[in-house]
Amino acid sequence: MGHMPLFEPGGTLKELAARAPARRILIHINNSNPILIEGSPEEARVKAAGLDIAFDGMEVCP
């Protein structure tokens, strides 16, 4: 399965950050993606854009 780029122009981060205010959670993440490293610059960029990063065992309730 292909993946859209996260940080590049037109990538997932920019597209999701531009949406109406709502909770947005990245869920399809390869286990080697640096956004999963707490305190990494990549994680900080995702959070600065207003998105959450899914984690094992995460439950989402309406």
Q: Both tokens of residue 47? A: 């959070």
- Transcribe 2-36 into DSSP letters: ----SSSTTSHHHHHHTSPSS-EEE----TT-GGG
For the entire predicted model, the pTM comes to 0.69
pLDDT for the residue 39: 97
Taking the domains of the chain in order of start, what are their residue ranges? Answer: 1-62
pLDDT for the residue 20: 66
* 45 to 14, 18, 34, 39, 53: CA distances (angstroms): 11, 14, 11, 10, 11
Per-residue pLDDT of the chain (62 residues; tens, 9 = 90+): 567 777 887 788 877 777 767 788 888 888 888 999 999 999 999 999 888 999 999 999 87
Q: Is the dihedral of CA 39, 42, 45, 51 positive or negative?
A: negative
